[in-house]
Amino acid sequence: MPMKSLKDNLIKVVSWAFLLAVGYLLARYIQIPHFEVSKTIDISNVLSLIITGWIALAITTVFEKQNSDRRVEKDLIISRVGAIHSIADSLQIGSQSGSIHLAEANSSLKRITTALQAAFKIIDKSHFTISEDIKSRLNNSLADIRTSLTNTPGVTQDPTSLQDIPIAIRDGIVTYNKDRISQLEVKFEALKDLLLELQIEINSK
């Protein structure tokens, strides 16, 4: 480590010396028509130059640090949203098979919901905002999937509507008919599109 630091400092010193030498040689030997190079330097100009350079350097450093922090922040939130996408993917695969354990569906839905709410809370605390519209569309999409996945009919429902039950449950295993499986496919794809839209919106901030 100390060797690397020494090497870096040496490179800096040599670079500055080289730039100064180039500046001196340019001023000494190159004549620019209609311009006169003064042989004396006003000390206030030197101070002004040093301060201007220092401010420029400080501003660049601060902005670079801020930009870098925000990039890291955004990348972390985007990867968090990516993890939600993965949970939705495995739940979709489970429902595609036509039957899924209710406990698995419930816990996956809870994981998606809590991870999404956590992402929204982190965004609220960070340096950027996202539209309420995307939050609302995501919440609605999730509520829709939850109902389609876990809402079994009650006995008080109209018996004629129960002839081809889209969802039934036995021993804690939920089974879906073909129509419900197709509906779930569409709803999961819509949810994943919204998650992608959220990632793009975060990235563009």
Partner 1 sequence: MVIMEQIKINILKDFSPNPGPRYIKEGKFSGELFRQQILYPKVAEAIEKGIPFEVNLDGTAGYGTSFLEESFGGLIRLHHLPYERIKALMSLISTEEEYLIDDVNEYLKDAYEESKR
90 binds partner 1 (CB under 8 A): no
Q: With binding defined as CB under 8 A, does residue 51 bind partner 1?
A: no
Task: Find the part of the chain contacting partner 1 (CB under 8 A) among 3-11, 29-37, 51-59, 150-158.
Answer: 150-158
Residue 102 interacts with partner 1 (CB under 8 A): yes or no: yes
Q: Does 139 bind partner 1 (CB under 8 A)?
A: yes
150 near partner 1 (CB under 8 A): yes
List Cβ neighbours of 126 (8 Å cut-off, separation of 6 or more). 70, 73, 77
CA-CA-CA-CA dihedral for 45, 50, 51, 52, to nearest 10: 80
Query: What's the min distance (Å) between Cβ of 96 and partner 1?
Result: 19
Q: According to the binding rule CB under 8 A, does residue 28 interact with partner 1?
A: no
Report, in Å, the least distance between residue 143 CB and partner 1: 7
Site membership for partner 1, residue 22 (CB under 8 A): no
Q: Least distance to partner 1 from the beta carbon of 141, Å?
A: 13
- Would you say 20 or 173 has its CB closer to partner 1? 173
Contacts of 73 (CB under 8 A, 6+ apart): 126, 127
Give the CA distances from residue 126 to residues 60, 87, 122, in Å, rounded to whole numbers and listed in that order. 22, 25, 6
37 phi, psi to nearest 5 deg: -95, 125
Q: Could you count the other beta carbons within 10 Å of the beta carbon of residue 150?
A: 15
The answer to whether 147 contacts partner 1 (rule: CB under 8 A) is: yes
State the minimum distance, in angstroms, from the CB of residue 115 to partner 1: 11
Q: In this structure, are residues 80 and 154 in contact, taking their beta carbons and an 8 Å threshold?
A: no
Q: Give the whole-angstrom CA distance, residue 145 versus residue 80.
A: 20
> Using the rule CB under 8 A, is 161 a contact of partner 1?
no
User: d(Cα 75, Cα 20) in Å, to the nearest integer?
Assistant: 41
Smallest distance from the beta carbon of 120 to partner 1, in angstroms? 11
Residues lying near partner 1 in the complex (CB under 8 A) are found at 102-103, 105-111, 113-114, 117, 139, 143, 146-147, 149-152, 154-156, 169-174
